[in-house]
């Protein structure tokens, strides 16, 4: 609750404030560096940029001498406290893989920074709340831990900048929520208030006096004037529905002509949270990654898992084995804007934009999102978005547990089933997945394909570095596991009706456990059809096991391959050719897993046979890193495939299914 | 990601056989390899240097190579033949540096009259056999991976070797220099000082070296994927740069890489 | 063996035709039962008859690598058209082999073409249906060419 009592802090007492903060905290505040105002250590009032102003415009930022103010002359620069709480590069854990095949993981703790942020603005405080919502939802404890003991000495903006529009986003200019102390600069003094207990404790030690009568009214008027003086304005209302409903708007093509896909906008944005990971091995002892100025030491031969800022403007952001889903600049810009001010709302109940204008100033070609939004508002089309927030995940520190390989079965030339002993995975559901990892190689999301004698099975096709390394593991080797993650198959919704299971290639793996359950309980699942397509007869997975399932009178198997030798007596041709009145009985529900192109044709064929979207479930695949909704990589419009999927009821994803770049 | 960037070069337990070859270039990149002393020492456990003129006097045994680093561009017929021999015995061939990858500074002579250039540069042109153009390695043989830069970055070189040893993909991101610049907390020299900077269209890897010293990026790592070079050129002109200066900006170092070349000829 | 209207209607090719038209078709059609392993025609054969599969399964295979091995790329089932290139008077591009005992309707290519010529309404209906069936097959072939199970899962 904010303290209604306003006090005056003489300008000369700024040094006393800094000294008082410095008793318990490292004070970081605005400093002039390399032609801009960024956060840096502040030891005395003289360190602050008194008499500087920032002339900002699209793609332009210049510091100029003007006036005598300490804070009022400028607004936000390229830097923000995000960098301290969510470092651009940090080591999540160190890891080791010994010659005997054993592995080990050691978490790197996030330590509180004990920073007093002097001069943060209302938009910065709002951004911290937005980031907090993102990381809290995913159970990622590090950013909050780093900021837990920080103090925020905010400044309310009386002179908003040319690029500010916090009045439109409802996040400023008046600082309050989240602040420990709030300053408002006046000609001869500051008005100061302490919304928090910690702030009150500081205030008690400062040479303040009660503000004059009418100060409250003055402040209200100043803030109202500031709201009217914003350099930019945006109509935020209804943006999620409008932007996602206008994916074919010509404006996207126009902005793509200018955009460099450089990622400056996302890097300076105080709320963007996308990240990637690397798994370096130290050839000799090195400091592999820096966390808040210090390097994490890693011994020779040891590995680390390093997380670094990514951007939806990079090619790798939407990379999946074989290529990127977002090759064009248009698709990347569209992802950025539709997420930032659109699907973010569905994901976290708030817009991702706090109106600070950084992305406009620091875009090298001066692309202005307020102009883009205005142009996109002129158009047709709306898409209703779901509201997605559910309970946040438990503490998910992203550090794998050690698991042992207790069995290896080769399924085909490039597919292996690993039997893995891990307590962490107990209680998984059919269709859920895990993150399997090897120190120094990397992590990959892999579905759980079943459980046998207390061991969890994963069926893996070796396509790239991680999956090939996993396929090369032998009994007795160890690996890292995280999970189980995601929403699996709707086993209850499938009860009582005929179920058609359509699988393509390795897509049978995520369905296997569901199939086993259905085959094993004819009472709940009276009629089950498995329609399965593989490349060749040699690529058919679980052939022996499937023959066993045929013993159940309620189970029917329909297999087809793309090509075969003449000795093959079964079907040849795409999987959709097997869908007919017989394999898709009336009232059927369908669950699908396979390449997107296969699922697209399958949904179409099922529709013709009278199965509506609401009775079809598909499993989606997107680039994954965290599997907890905090790396931003697996987004599919409003959804995180890792958390809201990978299984979706088809009507939920129909609008974006097959859309370029989603 | 470079083509064929996956897969391990390490055989079961055996040492990785390494070869380093030089075509037309300045040695800067090979020296970078030599400057990794500590790491090289650690590497000798895993790596056998089969051919490396600058580092070992032992004769090349001519056998197959697991990892081959090629530096320099192809300027002469002899170089082209040498390169083809090297490729034939290499499992994983990596070009190192701007010269090998994009033609480098040698490529600046492309488009001029070679004969005239030679008369100026060499006293007896008759002895100098030269291909009409100085061209990147990939124009002649398949390349598995490219290390960019002039010279290359030591960290990236070690990352490449480490990744091959571990059997993983090298974490060499095909992203803009801006991503590195922003991660390291630099203030953008283009926005804050009006310096022309090629960072937004240039492949990362140098750690945003030039911007760290207050200068615009010269593009020595070559174009990043899908470099929007024309859009940046348009911005330079809108900010008052004349066409001649713009052309020169895009012509330095990796001017021969197609994305930059187009913009330097426009 | 005599051919019933019901059997004719099984064929997508004739699904839209009326009683009278089916009578005409029944006159030029013969029904056949063929056992597993029977070869209906072989790659390179001159154009012959056109078939419709009424039951069972027939596979289409092509020789690759100069005839050493055969690769089968499609199986045809109930209702599907087989050997349609005969209508274009082209030689056989694939070998058709019965893999599950099959019942087939067999038409002389010229009989069928003549019937289409005589009554353009019927001809149009048949050609349109053939066109659709072949378009589906072309689309399926494209999907297979993407090697969809090959790159990702
Ligand atoms: C929910 C889910 C379940 C999956 N289940 C299985 C399974 O049961 N069996 C199986 O063989 N494969 C499965 N995959 C695909 C598997 O994750 C990828 O093949 C694997 O990530 C490729 O990694 P790589 O390092 O071998 O390949 P690279 O091409 O070297 O990939 C590098 C990195 O990119 C990411 N990546 C690449 N491809 C994919 C992808 N298709 N999906 C997500 N991230 C990707 C990963 O982070 C990977 O480490 C699943 C994917 C998802 C999203
Ligand atoms: S999108 Fe732009 S204006 Fe909005 S918060 Fe991010 S940087 Fe600021
Ligand atoms: S996807 Fe969203 S959070 Fe991630 S970089 Fe893009 S706009 Fe930012
Ligand atoms: S956006 Fe608002 S709070 Fe942020 S600097 Fe501008 S005026 Fe201040
Ligand atoms: S909008 Fe601007 S900053 Fe963002 S990627 Fe495009 S050019 Fe770069
Ligand atoms: S958000 Fe990281 S994998 Fe889904």
DSSP string, A554-604: TEEEEEEES-B-TT--SEES-GGGG-STTTS-TT-EEEEES-HHHHHHHHH
Encode pLDDT of B120-142 as tens digits: 444 444 444 455 567 888 888 88
Token pair for A281: 């091995």
Sign of CA dihedral A23, A25, A26, A30: negative
pLDDT digits (tens, 9 = 90+) for C112-135: 999 999 999 889 998 999 999 999
- pLDDT confidence bin for C143, thresholds 50/70/90: confident
Within 46-85 of A, beta carbons closer than 8 Å to B belong to 59-63, 77-79, 83
Q: Considering only CA atoms, which residue is closest to atom 34 of ligand 1?
A: A320
B and C adjacent (3 or more CB pairs under 8 angstroms): no
Chain C residues interacting with chain A (CB cutoff of 8 angstroms): 36, 57, 59-61, 69-75, 77, 97, 99-100, 140, 143-144, 146-153
Q: Which strands make up the sheet holding A103-107, listed edge to edge?
A: A103-107, A89-97, A303-309, A275-278
Containing structural domain, residue C97: 5-149
Q: How far is CA C71 from CA A355, A567, C42, C74, C92, in A?
A: 62, 10, 13, 10, 15
Residue A329 preceded by cis peptide, ω within 30: no
Range in A282-286, A295-299, A339-343, A389-393 with the lowest mean pLDDT = A282-286
CATH assignment of A401-485, among 3.40.228.10, 3.20.20.120, 3.20.20.80, 2.40.30.10:
2.40.30.10
Could you tell me the sign of the dihedral formed by the alpha carbons of A575, A578, A580, A581, in that order?
A: negative
Report residues whose beta carbon is within 6 angstroms of any ligand 3 atom.
Answer: A 266, 272-274, 311-312, 335-336, 339-340, 632
Predicted pLDDT at C66:
58
Query: Chain A residue with minimal CA distance to B195?
Result: A364
The C-alpha atoms of residue B134 and residue B103 are separated, in whole angstroms, by: 6
Q: Do A183 and A71 touch, CB atoms closer than 8 A? A: yes
Ligand 3 atom closest to A344 (CA): 2
Cβ contact, residue pair B185, A83, below 8 Å = yes
**A438, A97 Cβ separation under 8 angstroms:** yes
Question: Which residues are bridge partners to A561 per DSSP?
Answer: A534, A572
Q: Is A175 in the pocket of ligand 4 (CB under 6 A)?
A: no
- What angle do helix axes B243-251 and B229-238 make, rounded to 10 degrees? 140
Task: Name the least confident of A73-82, A350-359, C60-69.
Answer: C60-69
Rounded to a whole number of angstroms, the distance from the CA of A594 to the nearest CA of chain C is: 6
Residues of C within 8 A of A321 (CB-CB) are 151-152
Residue of B178, C23, B85 whose CA lies nearest to A268: B178
Cα–ligand 3 centroid distance for A267 (angstroms): 9
Chain B residues lying within 8 Å of A331, measured CB to CB: none
Share of chain A above pLDDT 70, in %: 97
Strand boundaries in A361-511, DSSP class E: 401-412, 415-421, 433-438, 442-447, 450-452, 455-461, 478-485, 499-504
pLDDT for position B2:
33
**Which chain C residues contact residue A577 at CB under 8 A?**
77, 140
Please list the residues that pair with A455 across neighbouring strands.
A452
Contact A594 C148 (CB under 8 A): yes
Q: What is the residue-averaged pLDDT of chain C?
A: 87
* Tens of pLDDT, residues A350-403: 999 999 999 999 999 999 999 999 999 999 999 988 876 677 888 888 999 999
Ligand 5 pocket at CB < 6 A: A 259-265, 313, 363-365, 367
Average pLDDT, integer, range B175-199? 95
Distance A272 CA to ligand 2 centre (A): 9
- B97-122, pLDDT tens digit by residue? 777 676 655 555 454 554 554 454 44
> ipTM for the complex?
0.93
Neighbours of A453 (CB within 10 A): 8
Neighbour-count burial of A506, counting CB atoms closer than 10 A to its CB (0-12 exposed, 13-18 middle, 19+ buried): buried
Average pLDDT over residues C78-83: 91
The span from the CA of A312 to the CA of A343, in Å, is: 14
* Residues B195-249 pLDDT 10s: 999 999 999 988 898 999 999 998 888 889 989 989 999 999 888 888 888 888 8
- Return the top range by mean pLDDT from A36-45, A300-309, B51-60: A36-45
Angle (CA) A498 A502 A508, round 5°: 120
Q: Could you tell me whether strands A103-107 and A616-619 are parallel, antiparallel, or unpaired per DSSP bridges?
A: unpaired
Cα distances (angstroms) measured from residue A517 to each of A429, A454, A499: 11, 16, 12
pLDDT in tens, A472-508: 999 999 999 999 999 999 999 999 999 999 999 999 9
- Looking at residue A395, its pLDDT comes to 82
* Nearest protein Cα to ligand 6, atom 1: A629
Contact (CB<8Å) A262/B39: no
Closest CA to A16 of A151, A207, A209: A207
CATH of the domain at C125: 2.60.120.10
Grade residue A553 by pLDDT with cuts at 50, 70 and 90: confident
- Residues having CB closer than 6 A to ligand 2 are A 268-271, 340, 353-359, 369
Assess A318–B contact: CB distance below 8 Å, yes or no. Answer: no
The pLDDT tens digits for A112-149 are: 999 999 999 999 999 999 999 999 999 999 999 999 99
What's the gap in Å between the CA of A323 and the closest CA on chain B?
Answer: 9
Whether pLDDT at A460 is above 90: yes
Q: Pick from A619, A386, A657, A599: which is nearest to A485 by CA?
A: A619
- A492-619: what fold? Rossmann fold (3.40.50)
Burial C59-77 (b: 16+ CB within 10 A, else e): bbbeeeeeeeebbbbbbbb
Strands A89-97 and A60-65: what pairing?
unpaired
Residues of A in contact with C140 (CB under 8 A): 573-574, 576-577
Report the distance separating Cα A568 and Cα A574, nearest Å: 16
Nearest to C72 among A533, A535, A564 (CB): A564
Instruction: Report the distance separating Cα C90 and Cα A192, nearest Å.
Output: 92
The mean pLDDT of chain A is 93
> What confidence score (pLDDT) does residue A252 get?
97
Pocket test for ligand 1, best of A417, A435, A466 (most atoms within 8 A of CB): A466
Res A528: pLDDT: 96
Report yes or no on chains C and A touching (3+ CB pairs under 8 A). yes
Reported as a pLDDT band with limits 50, 70 and 90, residue C152 is: very low
Q: What is the pLDDT of residue A243?
A: 96
* In chain B, ranges of CATH 3.40.50.700 domains: 16-166
Residues of chain A contacting B226 with CB distance shorter than 8 Å: 261, 315, 327-329
pLDDT tens digits, residue range B28-87? 667 777 776 666 666 777 778 887 766 666 778 888 998 898 888 888 888 888 889 999
Domain count, chain C: 1
Percent of chain A with pLDDT over 90: 87
Q: What is the mean pLDDT of residues A176-186?
A: 96
Q: If you take atom 3 of ligand 2, which residue's CA is the nearest one?
A: A357
Integer Cα distance of A187 and A649 in angstroms: 60
Pair of tokens at residue A259: 């955009």
Quick one: pLDDT at residue B127?
Answer: 43
State the Cα–Cα distance between residues B24 and B78, nearest whole angstrom: 11
Query: C interface mutation test: which of A416, A446, A567, A595 has the most C CBs within 10 A?
Result: A595
Chain A contact for B10 (CB, 8 A cutoff): no
Looking at the predicted structure, is the pLDDT value of residue A209 above 70? Answer: yes
For the cut 60, the answer to whether the pLDDT of residue C41 exceeds it is yes
Q: What is the mean pLDDT of residues B14-38?
A: 74
CATH architecture of B16-166: 3-Layer(aba) Sandwich (3.40)
Query: Minimal CA–CA distance to C56: which of C70, C36, C26, C71?
Result: C36
Q: What is the predicted pLDDT for the residue at A284?
A: 65
Highest mean pLDDT among A436-450, B139-153, B161-175, C68-82: A436-450
Residue closest to A425 by CA, chosen among A491, A496, A486:
A486
The enclosing H or E element of A316 equals none
* Interchain pair C151, A504: CB under 8 A: no
């Amino acid at each position: 609750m904010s303290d209604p009592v306003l006090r005056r802090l003489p300008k000369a007492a700024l040094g006393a404030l800094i000294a008082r903060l410095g008793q318990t905290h490292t004070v970081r505040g605005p400093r002039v560096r390399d032609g801009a105002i960024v956060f840096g250590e502040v030891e005395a009032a003289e360190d602050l940029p008194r008499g500087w102003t920032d002339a900002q415009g699209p793609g332009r930022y210049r510091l100029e001498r003007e006036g005598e103010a300490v804070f009022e002359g400028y607004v936000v620069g390229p830097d923000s406290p995000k960098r301290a709480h969510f470092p651009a590069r940090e080591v999540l854990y160190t890891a080791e893989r010994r010659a005997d095949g054993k592995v080990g993981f050691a978490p790197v703790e996030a330590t509180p920074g004990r920073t007093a942020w002097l001069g943060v603005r209302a938009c910065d405080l709002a951004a911290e709340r937005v980031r907090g919502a993102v990381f809290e939802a995913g159970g990622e404890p590090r950013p909050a831990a780093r900021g837990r003991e920080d103090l925020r000495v905010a400044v309310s903006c009386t002179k908003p900048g040319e690029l500010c529009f916090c009045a439109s986003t409802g996040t400023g200019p008046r600082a309050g929520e989240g602040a420990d102390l709030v300053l408002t600069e006046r000609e001869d003094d500051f008005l100061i208030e302490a919304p928090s207990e910690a702030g009150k404790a500081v205030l008690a030690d400062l040479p303040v006096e009660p503000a004059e009568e009418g100060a409250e009214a003055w402040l209200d008027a100043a803030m109202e004037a500031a709201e009217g003086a914003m350099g930019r304005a945006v109509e935020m209302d209804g943006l999620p529905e409008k932007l996602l409903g206008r994916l074919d708007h010509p404006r996207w093509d126009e902005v793509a002509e200018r955009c460099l896909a450089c990622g400056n906008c996302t890097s300076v944005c105080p709320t963007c949270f996308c990240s990637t990971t690397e798994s370096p091995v130290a050839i000799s002892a090195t400091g592999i990654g820096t966390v808040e100025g210090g390097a994490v030491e890693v011994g020779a031969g040891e590995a680390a898992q390093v997380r670094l800022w990514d951007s939806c403007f990079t090619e790798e952001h939407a990379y999946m084995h074989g290529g990127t889903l977002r090759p064009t600049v248009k698709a990347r810009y569209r992802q950025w804007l539709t997420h930032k001010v659109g699907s973010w709302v569905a994901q976290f109940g708030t817009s991702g934009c706090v109106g600070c204008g950084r992305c406009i100033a620091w875009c090298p070609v001066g692309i202005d999102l307020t102009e883009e939004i205005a142009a996109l508002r002129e158009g047709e089309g709306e898409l209703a978005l779901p509201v997605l927030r559910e309970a946040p995940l438990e503490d998910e520190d992203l550090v794998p547990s050690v698991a042992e390989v207790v069995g290896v079965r080769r399924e085909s030339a490039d597919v292996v089933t690993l039997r893995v002993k891990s307590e962490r995975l107990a209680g998984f559901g059919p269709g859920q997945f895990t993150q399997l990892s090897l120190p120094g190689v990397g992590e990959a999301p892999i579905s759980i394909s079943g459980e046998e004698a207390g061991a969890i099975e994963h069926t893996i096709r070796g396509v790239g570095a991680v999956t090939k390394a996993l396929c090369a593991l032998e009994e007795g080797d160890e690996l890292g596991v995280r999970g189980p993650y995601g929403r699996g198959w709707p086993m209850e919704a499938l009860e009582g009706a005929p179920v058609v299971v359509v699988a393509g290639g390795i897509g049978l793996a995520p369905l296997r456990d569901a199939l086993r359950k259905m085959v094993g309980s004819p009472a709940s699942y009276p009629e089950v059809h498995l329609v399965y397509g593989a490349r060749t007869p040699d690529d058919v997975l679980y052939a022996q096991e499937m023959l066993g399932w045929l013993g159940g009178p309620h189970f029917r198997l329909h297999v087809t391959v793309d090509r075969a030798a003449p000795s093959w007596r079964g079907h040849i041709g795409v999987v959709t050719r097997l869908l007919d009145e017989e394999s898709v009985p009336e009232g059927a529900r369908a669950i699908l897993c396979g390449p997107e192109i296969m699922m697209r044709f399958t949904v179409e064929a099922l529709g013709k046979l009278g199965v509506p979207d609401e009775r079809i479930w598909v499993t989606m695949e997107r680039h994954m890193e965290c599997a907890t909704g905090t790396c931003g990589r697996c987004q599919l419009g409003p959804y995180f495939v890792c958390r809201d999927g990978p299984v979706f009821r088809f009507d939920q994803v129909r609008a974006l299914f097959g859309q370029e770049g989603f | 990601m470079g083509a064929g960037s996956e897969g391990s070069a390490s055989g079961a337990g055996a040492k990785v056989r390494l070869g380093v070859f030089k075509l037309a270039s300045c040695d800067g990149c090979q020296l970078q390899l030599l400057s990794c002393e500590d790491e090289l020492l650690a590497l000798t456990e895993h790596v056998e240097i089969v051919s490396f003129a600058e580092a070992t006097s032992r004769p090349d045994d001519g056998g197959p190579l697991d990892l081959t680093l090629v530096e320099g561009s192809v300027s002469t017929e002899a170089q082209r033949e040498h390169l083809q021999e090297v490729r034939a015995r290499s499992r994983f061939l990596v070009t190192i540096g701007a010269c090998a990858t994009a033609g480098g500074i040698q490529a600046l002579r492309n488009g001029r009259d070679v004969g005239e250039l030679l008369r100026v540069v060499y006293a007896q042109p008759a002895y100098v056999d030269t291909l009409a153009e100085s061209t990147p390695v990939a124009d002649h043989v398949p390349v598995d991976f490219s290390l960019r830069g002039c010279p290359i970055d030591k960290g990236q070189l070690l990352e490449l070797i480490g990744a091959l040893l571990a059997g993983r993909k090298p974490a060499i991101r095909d992203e803009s220099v801006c991503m590195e610049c922003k991660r390291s907390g630099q203030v953008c020299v283009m926005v804050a000082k009006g310096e022309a900077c090629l960072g937004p269209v240039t492949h990362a890897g140098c750690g945003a070296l030039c911007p760290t010293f207050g200068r615009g990026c010269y593009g020595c790592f070559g174009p990043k994927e899908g470099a929007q070079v024309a859009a940046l050129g348009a911005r330079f002109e809108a900010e008052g740069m004349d066409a001649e200066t713009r052309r020169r900006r895009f012509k330095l170092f990796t001017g021969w890489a197609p994305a930059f070349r187009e913009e330097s000829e426009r | 063996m005599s051919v019933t209207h019901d059997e004719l209607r099984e064929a997508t090719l004739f699904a839209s035709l009326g009683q009278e038209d089916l009578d005409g078709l029944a006159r030029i059609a013969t029904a056949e039962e063929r056992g597993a392993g029977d070869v209906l025609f072989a790659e390179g054969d001159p154009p012959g008859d056109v078939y419709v599969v009424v039951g069972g399964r027939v596979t289409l295979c092509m020789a690759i690598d100069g005839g050493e091995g055969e690769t089968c790329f499609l199986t045809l089932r109930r209702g599907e058209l087989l050997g349609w290139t005969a209508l274009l008077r082209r030689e056989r591009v694939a070998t058709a082999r019965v893999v599950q005992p099959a019942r087939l309707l067999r038409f002389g290519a010229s009989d069928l073409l003549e019937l289409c010529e005589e009554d353009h309404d019927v001809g149009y209906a048949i050609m349109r249906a053939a066109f659709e069936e072949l378009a589906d097959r072309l689309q399926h072939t494209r999907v297979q060419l993407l090697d969809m199970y090959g790159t990702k899962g």
